[in-house]
Structure 1
Amino acid sequence: MVLVLAATPAETALLRRQVISSATVQCGGRELLRGNLCGTAVVVGHAGIGAMLMAMQLTRMLTELRPAAVILCGCGGSYPDRGPGIGDLALASSEIYGDCGVTTDSGFIPLEQLKIPQQSHLAPLFQQSYKLDTPLYHQAVQLLPQAYCGPFVTVNNCSGTPELSRQLQRLTTGICENMEGAAAAQVCAEFACPLLEVRGISNPTGTRADEQWDIPLGMRVAQEAVLTLLQRGLLNP
Protein backbone atom coordinates (compact mmCIF):
# COMPACT_ATOMS: atom_id res chain seq x y z
CA MET A 1 0.00 0.00 0.00
CA VAL A 2 1.17 3.53 -0.86
CA LEU A 3 0.31 6.53 1.30
CA VAL A 4 -0.51 9.51 -0.91
CA LEU A 5 -0.21 12.57 1.29
CA ALA A 6 -0.75 16.31 0.96
CA ALA A 7 -1.02 19.25 3.31
CA THR A 8 -4.58 20.17 2.34
CA PRO A 9 -7.60 18.35 0.85
CA ALA A 10 -7.56 20.69 -2.17
CA GLU A 11 -4.22 19.13 -3.14
CA THR A 12 -5.76 15.65 -3.46
CA ALA A 13 -9.26 16.45 -4.77
CA LEU A 14 -8.52 15.11 -8.28
CA LEU A 15 -6.92 11.95 -6.89
CA ARG A 16 -9.74 11.19 -4.47
CA ARG A 17 -12.32 11.37 -7.25
CA GLN A 18 -10.47 8.59 -9.07
CA VAL A 19 -10.02 6.19 -6.15
CA ILE A 20 -12.17 3.08 -6.64
CA SER A 21 -13.40 0.49 -4.13
CA SER A 22 -12.97 3.26 -1.58
CA ALA A 23 -13.66 3.24 2.13
CA THR A 24 -13.06 5.75 4.89
CA VAL A 25 -10.61 4.86 7.66
CA GLN A 26 -9.66 6.73 10.82
CA CYS A 27 -6.19 7.75 11.94
CA GLY A 28 -5.62 10.06 14.87
CA GLY A 29 -9.19 11.30 14.73
CA ARG A 30 -8.90 12.23 11.04
CA GLU A 31 -10.50 10.58 8.03
CA LEU A 32 -8.36 8.95 5.34
CA LEU A 33 -9.52 7.38 2.10
CA ARG A 34 -8.48 3.81 1.37
CA GLY A 35 -8.94 2.20 -2.04
CA ASN A 36 -7.37 1.52 -5.42
CA LEU A 37 -5.83 4.17 -7.66
CA CYS A 38 -4.56 3.20 -11.12
CA GLY A 39 -4.15 -0.40 -10.00
CA THR A 40 -2.26 0.47 -6.81
CA ALA A 41 -3.57 0.07 -3.28
CA VAL A 42 -3.48 3.52 -1.69
CA VAL A 43 -4.48 5.50 1.33
CA VAL A 44 -4.98 9.22 0.66
CA GLY A 45 -4.51 11.52 3.63
CA HIS A 46 -3.83 15.10 4.70
CA ALA A 47 -1.40 16.35 7.32
CA GLY A 48 -2.21 20.05 7.54
CA ILE A 49 -0.12 23.08 6.70
CA GLY A 50 3.41 23.45 8.05
CA ALA A 51 6.24 21.25 9.27
CA MET A 52 4.86 20.64 12.77
CA LEU A 53 1.52 19.25 11.58
CA MET A 54 3.22 17.24 8.85
CA ALA A 55 5.57 15.60 11.36
CA MET A 56 2.80 14.86 13.84
CA GLN A 57 0.24 13.47 11.41
CA LEU A 58 2.71 11.52 9.27
CA THR A 59 4.16 9.87 12.37
CA ARG A 60 0.66 8.70 13.29
CA MET A 61 0.01 7.43 9.77
CA LEU A 62 3.28 5.53 9.48
CA THR A 63 2.78 3.98 12.91
CA GLU A 64 -0.77 2.79 12.20
CA LEU A 65 -0.73 2.11 8.45
CA ARG A 66 2.82 0.90 7.73
CA PRO A 67 2.79 1.85 4.02
CA ALA A 68 5.37 0.57 1.56
CA ALA A 69 6.13 4.15 0.49
CA VAL A 70 4.87 7.72 0.79
CA ILE A 71 4.13 10.06 -2.11
CA LEU A 72 3.92 13.67 -0.95
CA CYS A 73 2.22 15.96 -3.45
CA GLY A 74 1.18 19.60 -3.54
CA CYS A 75 2.11 22.98 -4.90
CA GLY A 76 5.26 25.01 -4.38
CA GLY A 77 7.06 28.22 -5.29
CA SER A 78 10.05 28.26 -7.62
CA TYR A 79 13.30 30.13 -7.01
CA PRO A 80 14.52 32.62 -9.62
CA ASP A 81 16.75 31.33 -12.41
CA ARG A 82 16.37 27.70 -11.28
CA GLY A 83 14.26 26.49 -14.21
CA PRO A 84 10.65 25.69 -13.32
CA GLY A 85 7.89 28.22 -13.95
CA ILE A 86 4.20 28.34 -13.15
CA GLY A 87 2.53 25.10 -14.21
CA ASP A 88 5.78 23.10 -14.35
CA LEU A 89 6.41 19.90 -12.43
CA ALA A 90 9.21 19.44 -9.89
CA LEU A 91 10.64 16.33 -8.21
CA ALA A 92 12.66 16.55 -5.00
CA SER A 93 16.09 14.94 -4.95
CA SER A 94 16.49 16.13 -1.35
CA GLU A 95 14.76 18.30 1.24
CA ILE A 96 16.42 21.12 3.17
CA TYR A 97 15.32 23.06 6.26
CA GLY A 98 15.92 26.50 4.76
CA ASP A 99 15.31 28.86 7.67
CA CYS A 100 16.29 26.70 10.65
CA GLY A 101 19.29 28.47 12.14
CA VAL A 102 20.40 31.92 13.27
CA THR A 103 20.31 35.25 11.44
CA THR A 104 23.32 37.43 12.27
CA ASP A 105 24.72 40.75 11.09
CA SER A 106 27.02 38.86 8.75
CA GLY A 107 24.32 36.56 7.36
CA PHE A 108 22.37 33.38 8.06
CA ILE A 109 24.04 30.46 9.84
CA PRO A 110 22.31 27.07 9.34
CA LEU A 111 21.61 25.24 12.59
CA GLU A 112 23.76 22.32 11.43
CA GLN A 113 26.79 24.65 11.51
CA LEU A 114 26.25 25.97 15.06
CA LYS A 115 28.11 23.05 16.67
CA ILE A 116 25.43 22.45 19.29
CA PRO A 117 26.40 19.32 21.27
CA GLN A 118 24.24 16.32 20.33
CA GLN A 119 24.19 12.74 21.58
CA SER A 120 22.69 10.24 19.18
CA HIS A 121 22.06 7.62 21.87
CA LEU A 122 19.82 10.06 23.74
CA ALA A 123 18.06 11.96 20.95
CA PRO A 124 17.94 11.98 17.14
CA LEU A 125 20.66 14.13 15.58
CA PHE A 126 19.49 17.24 13.76
CA GLN A 127 20.05 17.24 10.01
CA GLN A 128 19.70 20.31 7.83
CA SER A 129 18.95 18.21 4.76
CA TYR A 130 17.63 14.78 3.85
CA LYS A 131 18.30 12.89 0.64
CA LEU A 132 15.12 11.26 -0.61
CA ASP A 133 14.93 7.55 -1.42
CA THR A 134 17.25 7.16 -4.39
CA PRO A 135 15.66 4.16 -6.21
CA LEU A 136 12.16 5.65 -6.00
CA TYR A 137 13.40 9.09 -7.08
CA HIS A 138 15.32 7.72 -10.06
CA GLN A 139 12.34 5.65 -11.14
CA ALA A 140 10.14 8.77 -11.01
CA VAL A 141 12.70 10.74 -13.03
CA GLN A 142 12.50 8.12 -15.77
CA LEU A 143 8.69 8.08 -15.72
CA LEU A 144 8.36 11.89 -15.67
CA PRO A 145 11.07 13.17 -18.05
CA GLN A 146 9.48 16.64 -18.21
CA ALA A 147 9.98 17.25 -14.49
CA TYR A 148 12.57 19.64 -13.08
CA CYS A 149 14.65 17.82 -10.49
CA GLY A 150 16.68 19.13 -7.59
CA PRO A 151 16.68 20.12 -3.91
CA PHE A 152 13.48 21.41 -2.33
CA VAL A 153 13.55 23.90 0.53
CA THR A 154 11.15 23.82 3.49
CA VAL A 155 10.49 27.05 5.37
CA ASN A 156 8.23 28.47 8.04
CA ASN A 157 8.82 32.00 6.75
CA CYS A 158 8.03 31.90 3.03
CA SER A 159 10.03 34.06 0.62
CA GLY A 160 7.67 36.96 -0.04
CA THR A 161 10.43 39.40 -0.97
CA PRO A 162 13.07 39.22 -3.74
CA GLU A 163 15.85 39.59 -1.17
CA LEU A 164 14.77 36.58 0.91
CA SER A 165 14.12 34.53 -2.21
CA ARG A 166 17.62 35.17 -3.55
CA GLN A 167 19.18 34.51 -0.14
CA LEU A 168 17.54 31.10 0.25
CA GLN A 169 18.34 30.14 -3.33
CA ARG A 170 21.99 31.05 -2.78
CA LEU A 171 22.24 29.20 0.55
CA THR A 172 20.50 26.02 -0.56
CA THR A 173 20.75 25.83 -4.39
CA GLY A 174 17.11 24.77 -4.14
CA ILE A 175 14.66 24.84 -7.03
CA CYS A 176 11.39 24.85 -5.11
CA GLU A 177 10.06 26.15 -1.78
CA ASN A 178 7.36 24.62 0.42
CA MET A 179 6.30 24.34 4.06
CA GLU A 180 6.19 20.59 4.81
CA GLY A 181 8.63 18.50 2.78
CA ALA A 182 11.66 18.41 5.06
CA ALA A 183 9.49 17.34 7.99
CA ALA A 184 8.07 14.50 5.89
CA ALA A 185 11.58 13.50 4.83
CA GLN A 186 12.78 13.51 8.43
CA VAL A 187 9.90 11.35 9.65
CA CYS A 188 10.24 8.92 6.74
CA ALA A 189 13.97 8.61 7.42
CA GLU A 190 13.22 7.76 11.05
CA PHE A 191 10.78 5.05 9.94
CA ALA A 192 12.97 3.87 7.01
CA CYS A 193 10.01 4.47 4.70
CA PRO A 194 10.72 5.56 1.10
CA LEU A 195 9.45 9.05 0.24
CA LEU A 196 8.82 10.65 -3.13
CA GLU A 197 7.89 14.35 -3.29
CA VAL A 198 6.09 15.77 -6.32
CA ARG A 199 5.09 19.43 -6.61
CA GLY A 200 3.45 21.60 -9.21
CA ILE A 201 4.78 25.16 -9.39
CA SER A 202 2.04 27.63 -8.47
CA ASN A 203 4.13 30.79 -8.19
CA PRO A 204 7.60 32.28 -8.21
CA THR A 205 9.05 33.02 -4.79
CA GLY A 206 9.80 36.63 -3.90
CA THR A 207 6.42 38.16 -4.75
CA ARG A 208 2.86 38.31 -3.46
CA ALA A 209 1.45 39.74 -6.71
CA ASP A 210 -1.81 37.91 -7.47
CA GLU A 211 -1.17 37.83 -11.21
CA GLN A 212 1.93 35.68 -10.64
CA TRP A 213 0.10 33.01 -8.62
CA ASP A 214 -1.99 30.06 -9.86
CA ILE A 215 -2.47 27.70 -6.94
CA PRO A 216 -5.17 25.53 -8.62
CA LEU A 217 -2.81 24.91 -11.56
CA GLY A 218 0.06 23.91 -9.29
CA MET A 219 -2.18 21.51 -7.38
CA ARG A 220 -3.53 19.95 -10.58
CA VAL A 221 -0.09 19.45 -12.13
CA ALA A 222 1.16 17.60 -9.03
CA GLN A 223 -1.88 15.31 -8.90
CA GLU A 224 -1.70 14.53 -12.61
CA ALA A 225 1.94 13.55 -12.06
CA VAL A 226 0.95 11.13 -9.29
CA LEU A 227 -1.62 9.54 -11.61
CA THR A 228 0.98 9.22 -14.37
CA LEU A 229 3.48 7.61 -12.00
CA LEU A 230 1.00 5.01 -10.82
CA GLN A 231 -0.28 4.33 -14.34
CA ARG A 232 3.30 3.79 -15.55
CA GLY A 233 4.15 1.33 -12.80
CA LEU A 234 5.85 3.25 -10.01
CA LEU A 235 6.97 0.71 -7.37
CA ASN A 236 6.41 -2.02 -9.97
CA PRO A 237 9.42 -1.72 -12.33
Structure 2
Amino acid sequence: MLIIIAAVPLETNLLRQELKDSRTEQLGSCCIEIGTIYDQDVLIAHSGVGQTAMSLQLTRLLERYPAKAVLLCGCGGSYPDSTLRNGELAIATAEFFGDLGVSCEEDFIHLSELEIPQNPELELIVQRSYLLPSPLVEHARKTLPQALCGTFVTVNSCSGCAALSNELQQRSGGICENMEGAAAAQVCAEYNLPLLELRGISNPTGSRDPQQWNIPLGAEAAQQGLLEILRHWPEKQEESCNS
Protein backbone atom coordinates (compact mmCIF):
# COMPACT_ATOMS: atom_id res chain seq x y z
CA MET A 1 0.00 0.00 0.00
CA LEU A 2 0.92 3.67 -0.10
CA ILE A 3 1.75 5.14 3.28
CA ILE A 4 0.59 8.74 3.58
CA ILE A 5 2.04 10.51 6.57
CA ALA A 6 1.78 14.05 7.90
CA ALA A 7 2.79 15.71 11.13
CA VAL A 8 -0.72 16.60 12.33
CA PRO A 9 -4.35 15.72 11.43
CA LEU A 10 -4.99 19.19 9.93
CA GLU A 11 -2.66 18.14 7.13
CA THR A 12 -4.79 15.08 6.22
CA ASN A 13 -8.38 16.29 6.75
CA LEU A 14 -9.23 16.36 3.05
CA LEU A 15 -7.47 13.08 2.37
CA ARG A 16 -9.40 11.29 5.09
CA GLN A 17 -12.67 12.64 3.69
CA GLU A 18 -11.85 10.88 0.39
CA LEU A 19 -10.99 7.59 2.07
CA LYS A 20 -13.27 4.71 1.01
CA ASP A 21 -13.88 1.34 2.70
CA SER A 22 -11.89 2.61 5.65
CA ARG A 23 -10.98 0.97 8.92
CA THR A 24 -8.95 2.18 11.88
CA GLU A 25 -6.13 0.44 13.69
CA GLN A 26 -4.03 1.35 16.69
CA LEU A 27 -0.27 1.63 16.32
CA GLY A 28 1.37 2.49 19.60
CA SER A 29 -0.33 5.61 20.87
CA CYS A 30 -1.54 6.62 17.39
CA CYS A 31 -4.69 5.76 15.49
CA ILE A 32 -4.20 5.13 11.77
CA GLU A 33 -6.74 4.83 8.95
CA ILE A 34 -6.57 2.32 6.10
CA GLY A 35 -8.70 2.33 2.94
CA THR A 36 -8.62 3.42 -0.68
CA ILE A 37 -8.41 6.76 -2.46
CA TYR A 38 -9.11 6.64 -6.20
CA ASP A 39 -8.67 2.86 -6.09
CA GLN A 40 -5.22 3.11 -4.50
CA ASP A 41 -4.69 1.23 -1.24
CA VAL A 42 -3.52 3.79 1.29
CA LEU A 43 -2.70 4.09 4.96
CA ILE A 44 -2.96 7.54 6.56
CA ALA A 45 -0.98 8.28 9.71
CA HIS A 46 0.33 11.19 11.74
CA SER A 47 3.80 11.40 13.19
CA GLY A 48 3.64 14.46 15.40
CA VAL A 49 5.85 17.49 14.85
CA GLY A 50 9.61 17.18 14.46
CA GLN A 51 12.29 14.81 13.26
CA THR A 52 12.29 12.43 16.21
CA ALA A 53 8.53 11.94 16.05
CA MET A 54 8.66 11.34 12.29
CA SER A 55 11.50 8.82 12.56
CA LEU A 56 9.75 6.89 15.31
CA GLN A 57 6.32 6.71 13.74
CA LEU A 58 7.45 6.03 10.18
CA THR A 59 9.75 3.24 11.33
CA ARG A 60 6.88 1.70 13.29
CA LEU A 61 4.70 1.84 10.18
CA LEU A 62 7.28 0.29 7.87
CA GLU A 63 8.01 -2.51 10.32
CA ARG A 64 4.33 -3.44 10.48
CA TYR A 65 2.82 -2.68 7.08
CA PRO A 66 4.07 -3.60 3.58
CA ALA A 67 4.61 -0.36 1.67
CA LYS A 68 5.48 0.43 -1.93
CA ALA A 69 6.09 4.15 -1.32
CA VAL A 70 5.82 6.87 1.31
CA LEU A 71 3.94 10.09 0.57
CA LEU A 72 4.71 12.94 2.98
CA CYS A 73 2.19 15.76 2.95
CA GLY A 74 2.20 19.01 4.92
CA CYS A 75 2.94 22.70 5.26
CA GLY A 76 6.18 24.51 4.65
CA GLY A 77 7.75 27.94 4.93
CA SER A 78 9.15 29.52 1.76
CA TYR A 79 12.65 30.95 1.50
CA PRO A 80 13.02 34.52 0.18
CA ASP A 81 14.45 33.69 -3.26
CA SER A 82 12.05 30.83 -3.99
CA THR A 83 9.23 33.14 -5.26
CA LEU A 84 6.78 30.78 -3.52
CA ARG A 85 3.70 32.38 -2.00
CA ASN A 86 1.19 31.11 0.55
CA GLY A 87 -1.06 28.44 -0.93
CA GLU A 88 1.42 27.41 -3.64
CA LEU A 89 2.92 23.94 -3.99
CA ALA A 90 6.46 22.64 -3.66
CA ILE A 91 7.84 19.18 -4.49
CA ALA A 92 11.06 17.93 -2.88
CA THR A 93 13.85 16.72 -5.16
CA ALA A 94 16.17 16.50 -2.14
CA GLU A 95 16.04 16.85 1.63
CA PHE A 96 18.72 18.74 3.57
CA PHE A 97 19.46 18.63 7.31
CA GLY A 98 19.61 22.38 7.91
CA ASP A 99 20.83 22.72 11.48
CA LEU A 100 22.46 19.40 12.33
CA GLY A 101 25.94 20.38 13.44
CA VAL A 102 27.80 23.20 15.14
CA SER A 103 26.99 26.91 14.82
CA CYS A 104 30.06 29.12 14.99
CA GLU A 105 30.33 32.90 14.91
CA GLU A 106 31.14 33.07 11.21
CA ASP A 107 30.40 29.59 9.97
CA PHE A 108 28.33 26.43 10.36
CA ILE A 109 29.92 22.99 10.47
CA HIS A 110 27.62 20.14 9.51
CA LEU A 111 27.74 16.99 11.58
CA SER A 112 29.02 15.02 8.58
CA GLU A 113 32.11 17.26 8.54
CA LEU A 114 32.98 16.81 12.20
CA GLU A 115 35.60 14.22 13.09
CA ILE A 116 33.26 12.16 15.24
CA PRO A 117 34.11 8.43 15.16
CA GLN A 118 31.36 6.43 13.48
CA ASN A 119 30.83 2.72 13.13
CA PRO A 120 28.71 1.83 10.09
CA GLU A 121 27.85 -1.52 11.66
CA LEU A 122 26.20 0.20 14.62
CA GLU A 123 24.63 3.34 13.18
CA LEU A 124 23.76 5.08 9.95
CA ILE A 125 26.48 7.26 8.51
CA VAL A 126 25.37 10.88 8.83
CA GLN A 127 24.55 12.53 5.52
CA ARG A 128 24.05 16.21 4.91
CA SER A 129 21.28 15.58 2.40
CA TYR A 130 19.26 12.91 0.60
CA LEU A 131 18.43 13.07 -3.08
CA LEU A 132 14.89 11.95 -3.91
CA PRO A 133 15.00 10.95 -7.58
CA SER A 134 12.36 8.40 -8.53
CA PRO A 135 9.61 7.77 -11.09
CA LEU A 136 7.23 8.87 -8.34
CA VAL A 137 8.75 12.36 -8.16
CA GLU A 138 8.69 12.60 -11.96
CA HIS A 139 5.02 11.61 -11.94
CA ALA A 140 4.36 14.41 -9.45
CA ARG A 141 6.24 16.93 -11.61
CA LYS A 142 4.14 16.08 -14.64
CA THR A 143 0.86 15.93 -12.75
CA LEU A 144 1.47 19.23 -10.94
CA PRO A 145 3.30 21.48 -13.43
CA GLN A 146 2.47 24.52 -11.30
CA ALA A 147 4.50 23.19 -8.37
CA LEU A 148 8.04 24.38 -7.76
CA CYS A 149 10.57 21.56 -7.44
CA GLY A 150 13.73 21.85 -5.39
CA THR A 151 15.57 21.13 -2.15
CA PHE A 152 13.63 21.16 1.11
CA VAL A 153 15.40 22.06 4.35
CA THR A 154 14.54 20.28 7.61
CA VAL A 155 15.25 22.12 10.85
CA ASN A 156 14.67 21.77 14.57
CA SER A 157 14.56 25.57 14.98
CA CYS A 158 12.51 27.31 12.31
CA SER A 159 13.73 30.57 10.78
CA GLY A 160 11.88 33.22 12.75
CA CYS A 161 14.18 36.05 11.68
CA ALA A 162 15.44 37.23 8.30
CA ALA A 163 19.12 36.60 9.09
CA LEU A 164 18.60 32.90 9.85
CA SER A 165 16.27 32.48 6.88
CA ASN A 166 18.86 33.92 4.50
CA GLU A 167 21.67 31.90 6.07
CA LEU A 168 19.84 28.58 5.69
CA GLN A 169 18.77 29.38 2.17
CA GLN A 170 22.33 30.19 1.12
CA ARG A 171 23.78 27.16 2.90
CA SER A 172 21.34 24.70 1.37
CA GLY A 173 20.09 26.18 -1.88
CA GLY A 174 16.65 25.26 -0.56
CA ILE A 175 13.25 26.55 -1.55
CA CYS A 176 11.28 25.80 1.61
CA GLU A 177 11.65 24.80 5.23
CA ASN A 178 9.99 22.10 7.33
CA MET A 179 10.54 20.04 10.48
CA GLU A 180 10.15 16.37 9.42
CA GLY A 181 11.18 15.70 5.82
CA ALA A 182 14.87 14.82 6.12
CA ALA A 183 14.05 12.33 8.87
CA ALA A 184 11.51 10.66 6.58
CA ALA A 185 14.07 10.63 3.76
CA GLN A 186 16.63 8.92 5.99
CA VAL A 187 14.15 6.26 7.09
CA CYS A 188 13.01 5.64 3.51
CA ALA A 189 16.63 5.32 2.37
CA GLU A 190 17.19 2.67 5.05
CA TYR A 191 14.14 0.72 3.82
CA ASN A 192 14.94 1.36 0.14
CA LEU A 193 11.55 2.97 -0.49
CA PRO A 194 10.71 5.95 -2.71
CA LEU A 195 9.60 9.10 -0.90
CA LEU A 196 7.42 11.82 -2.36
CA GLU A 197 7.26 14.96 -0.22
CA LEU A 198 4.69 17.57 -1.16
CA ARG A 199 4.21 20.78 0.81
CA GLY A 200 1.85 23.69 0.56
CA ILE A 201 3.32 27.02 1.56
CA SER A 202 1.80 28.39 4.75
CA ASN A 203 4.19 31.27 5.46
CA PRO A 204 7.40 32.98 4.43
CA THR A 205 10.40 32.11 6.56
CA GLY A 206 12.05 34.88 8.51
CA SER A 207 8.89 36.34 10.03
CA ARG A 208 6.62 35.63 12.97
CA ASP A 209 4.01 38.14 11.82
CA PRO A 210 0.69 36.23 12.18
CA GLN A 211 -0.77 38.13 9.22
CA GLN A 212 1.78 36.43 6.96
CA TRP A 213 0.85 32.92 8.15
CA ASN A 214 -1.98 30.74 6.84
CA ILE A 215 -1.46 27.15 7.96
CA PRO A 216 -4.91 25.87 6.82
CA LEU A 217 -4.24 27.23 3.31
CA GLY A 218 -0.88 25.48 3.11
CA ALA A 219 -2.33 22.22 4.41
CA GLU A 220 -5.19 22.33 1.91
CA ALA A 221 -2.88 23.05 -1.02
CA ALA A 222 -0.67 20.06 -0.23
CA GLN A 223 -3.64 17.72 0.10
CA GLN A 224 -5.27 18.91 -3.11
CA GLY A 225 -1.99 18.29 -4.88
CA LEU A 226 -1.65 14.80 -3.42
CA LEU A 227 -5.23 13.97 -4.39
CA GLU A 228 -4.45 15.00 -7.95
CA ILE A 229 -1.41 12.71 -7.95
CA LEU A 230 -3.50 9.79 -6.68
CA ARG A 231 -6.29 10.54 -9.16
CA HIS A 232 -3.85 10.22 -12.07
CA TRP A 233 -1.79 7.36 -10.69
CA PRO A 234 -0.66 5.37 -13.77
CA GLU A 235 -0.30 1.61 -13.93
CA LYS A 236 3.37 1.91 -14.81
CA GLN A 237 3.90 3.90 -11.63
CA GLU A 238 2.56 0.91 -9.73
CA GLU A 239 5.22 -1.26 -11.38
CA SER A 240 7.97 1.27 -10.60
CA CYS A 241 7.09 1.37 -6.92
CA ASN A 242 7.07 -2.42 -6.71
CA SER A 243 10.46 -2.83 -8.40
In which range does the TM-score fall when normalised by the shorter chain? over 0.9
Give 1:76 shift. Answer: 0.4
What is the match of residue 126 of structure 2?
126
What is the match of residue 74 of structure 2?
74
What is the match of residue 159 of structure 2?
159
Q: CA RMSD in A?
A: 1.2
Gaps of 5+ in 2: none
Q: State whether structure 2 residue 211 is matched by structure 1 residue 214.
A: no
For residues 93 and 238 of structure 2, the distance between their equivalents in structure 1, rounded to whole angstroms, comes to 20
TM-score (norm 2): 0.95
For residues 123 and 52 of structure 2, the distance between their equivalents in structure 1, rounded to whole angstroms, comes to 18
What is the match of residue 7 of structure 2?
7
For residues 113 and 95 of structure 1, the distance between their equivalents in structure 2, rounded to whole angstroms, comes to 18
For residues 111 and 82 of structure 2, the distance between their equivalents in structure 1, rounded to whole angstroms, comes to 25
Give 1:25 shift. Answer: 1.4
Q: Name whichever of 22-31 and 140-149 sits farther off.
A: 22-31
**Cα pair 1:133 1:196 within 8 Å, conserved:** no
For residues 133 and 74 of structure 1, the distance between their equivalents in structure 2, rounded to whole angstroms, comes to 20
TM-score (norm 1): 0.97
What is the match of residue 19 of structure 1?
19
Matches within 5 A, 1:70-109: 70-109=70-109
Give 1:106 shift. Answer: 2.1
Letter in 1 for 2:46: H
For residues 40 and 107 of structure 1, the distance between their equivalents in structure 2, rounded to whole angstroms, comes to 47
**Cα pair 1:89 1:222 within 8 Å, conserved:** yes
Gaps of 5+ in 1: none
Give 1:236 shift. Answer: 3.9
For residues 214 and 30 of structure 1, the distance between their equivalents in structure 2, rounded to whole angstroms, comes to 26
Give 1:12 shift. Answer: 0.2
Q: State whether structure 2 residue 229 is matched by structure 1 residue 229.
A: yes
What is the match of residue 189 of structure 1?
189
Identity of aligned residues (%): 50
Deviations 1:30-73 (A, max 9, x none): 21100010110101000000000000010000100121111000
For residues 132 and 213 of structure 2, the distance between their equivalents in structure 1, rounded to whole angstroms, comes to 28
For residues 93 and 42 of structure 1, the distance between their equivalents in structure 2, rounded to whole angstroms, comes to 23
Q: Which runs of 4+ in 1 moved over 6 A?
A: none
What is the match of residue 53 of structure 2?
53
Task: Describe the SS at the equivalent of 1:12.
Answer: helix
What is the match of residue 141 of structure 1?
141
Task: Describe the SS at the equivalent of 1:200.
Answer: strand
Q: Name whichever of 212-221 and 123-132 sits farther off.
A: 123-132
Letter in 1 for 2:155: V
Give 1:133 shift. Answer: 4.1
**Cα pair 1:83 1:148 within 8 Å, conserved:** no
Deviations 1:59-100 (A, max 9, x none): 000100121111000000000011211111000001011000
Q: Name whichever of 22-31 and 95-104 sits farther off.
A: 22-31
Deviations 1:142-189 (A, max 9, x none): 111110000000000000000000000000000010000000000111
What is the match of residue 62 of structure 1?
62
For residues 185 and 195 of structure 1, the distance between their equivalents in structure 2, rounded to whole angstroms, comes to 7
